[in-house]
Amino acid sequence: MKDRLSALMDGELDDRSAAEAIQALGSDREAVRAWRTYQLISDAMRQSRVLSADFTARVAERLKAEPTVLAPRARVPGFQSDSRKWFALSAAASVAAVGVPCLRMARLLRMSPREPCGGKRTASTNARASAALATPDS
């Protein structure tokens, strides 16, 4: 088994053999110990920072001992005022995005067909618009 684990670490196994070796790690404690030892040797050869052999087991035990806290997150003091500011800005932008086109459309609808494109009314255009509206259609 140790030869297969060594070959697995070196990347020399085909997919099927690698899967079998990994599956063996799940059930064979001796294979797990050998795997950890090989990992430590590999780290030492690469001059990686070496951790003790039982480091992962100790961390796993401490994590199991940690209580599970089911509590809401604490409020950040400045967060609420920031969120209100962004809400107000987004509301203003939404109103502007809807209001400006509506006001432009209302202005266009109030113009009579005979008015100049600029929409500037003069006394003569007002009189013509009133006369056009006052004559009954035949």
User: Residue 79's pLDDT is what?
Assistant: 58
Residue boundaries of the structural domains of the chain: 2-57, 100-138
pLDDT in tens, 76-103: 665 556 677 888 889 999 998 988 888 8
Which residue in 107, 108, 106, 115 sits closest to 133, CA to CA? 115
pLDDT attached to residue 128: 63
Beta carbons within 10 angstroms of residue 21's beta carbon? 19
pTM of the shown model: 0.33
Percent above pLDDT 70 for the chain: 70
* pLDDT mean across residues, the chain: 75
Of 24-28, 40-44, 132-136, the poorest mean pLDDT is in 132-136
- Between the alpha carbon of residue 21 and those of residues 16, 30, 53, the distances in Å are 9, 13, 20
Distance of alpha carbon 104 from alpha carbon 134, whole angstroms: 27
The pLDDT tens digits for 32-65 are 888 888 888 777 777 666 567 777 788 888 888 8
Compute the distance between CA of residue 69 and CA of residue 71 in angstroms, rounded to an integer.
6
Please report, rounded to a whole number, the percentage of residues in the chain having pLDDT higher than 90. 2
> Rounded to whole angstroms, how far apart are CA atoms 128 and 121?
11
Tokens, residue 18: 């690698």
Of 137, 130, 136, the residue nearest 114 (C-alpha): 130
Can you give the pLDDT at residue 137? 54
| CA atoms of 48 and 23, how far apart (whole Å) | 27
Q: How high is the pLDDT of residue 122?
A: 61
